[in-house]
Amino acid sequence: AKPIVTIVGRPNVGKSTLFNRIAGKRISIVEDTPGVTRDRIYAECEWLDNHFTLIDTGGIEPDTIDTIFAQMRVQAEVAIEMADVVLFMVDGKEGVTAADTEVAQMLRKAKKEVILVVNKMDKFVNNDNIYEFYNLGIGDPVSISSSEALGIGDLLDEIIFRF
Ligand code: GDP
Ligand code: MG
């Protein structure tokens, strides 16, 4: 079966932007307002002859779950359960938040391949922020800018290496 790669992280970090970038199409809806419910979340993707299914878990937002923490917990559970590789996305401009720390804890307990993706690193020259993300205990962060299309090839290399 094709490997499944999921993207998890708190609202507004850029999950849907990365999803669309890798899918090469605008499938997932990019929202400036955090917490808006989105739906179409699957794409069949390919990198260097490796085929995989990419899932934007930001689309999984049950109506009954109202706090961002609770939503993220459910999304992370689904992401962990389905995935062969989990992309845990954080915001390089905002730094580590309490919600990031909580999700990191869940991901560390799961026996899954997890890649820590630091998004919004639009100017790679100013990379000082990257070091605090080591505190999440997920390993070496991979810096990208989904909107500027920086670091995406290196991230895809990292993904297929885990299959
Ligand atoms: P999601 O809620 O995690 O799916 O985040 P979205 O993909 O909807 O993006 C949330 C906001 O962040 C939108 O305004 C995007 O344009 C913006 N965004 C996404 N990626 C980047 C990036 O690499 N750099 C910057 N500066 N903004 C980004
Ligand atoms: Mg989204």
**Gap between the Cα atoms of 163 and 160, Å rounded:** 5
Retrieve residue 11's tokens: 């609202």
Q: Answer yes or no: is pLDDT of 154 > 70.
A: yes
CB 5 within 8 A of CB 55: yes
| 59-76 residue pLDDT tens | 555 555 567 777 777 878
Ligand index nearest the alpha carbon of residue 11: 1
Q: Ligand 1, residues 123, 146, 150: which to mutate, most atoms within 8 A of Cβ?
A: 146
Q: Is the pLDDT of residue 123 over 80?
A: yes
| Mean pLDDT in residue range 142-162 | 96
Residue ranges covered by each domain of the chain:
4-161
Determine whether domain 4-161 maps to CATH 3.40.50.300: yes
Check the annotation: does 57 bind a ligand.
yes
Which ligand gives the minimal distance to the CA of 8? 1
* Atom 9 in ligand 1: residue holding the nearest Cα: 14
What is residue 80's predicted lDDT score, i.e. its pLDDT?
Answer: 86
Ligand 1 atom 25, closest CA:
120
The predicted structure's pLDDT at residue 34: 53
Provide the ipTM: 0.99
Q: pLDDT tens digits, residue range 4-60? A: 999 998 888 999 899 999 988 666 656 555 554 444 478 889 999 999 999 888 755
Q: How far is the CA of 12 from the centre of ligand 2 (A)?
A: 7
- pLDDT, tens digit, for every residue of 103-121? 899 899 988 999 999 999 9
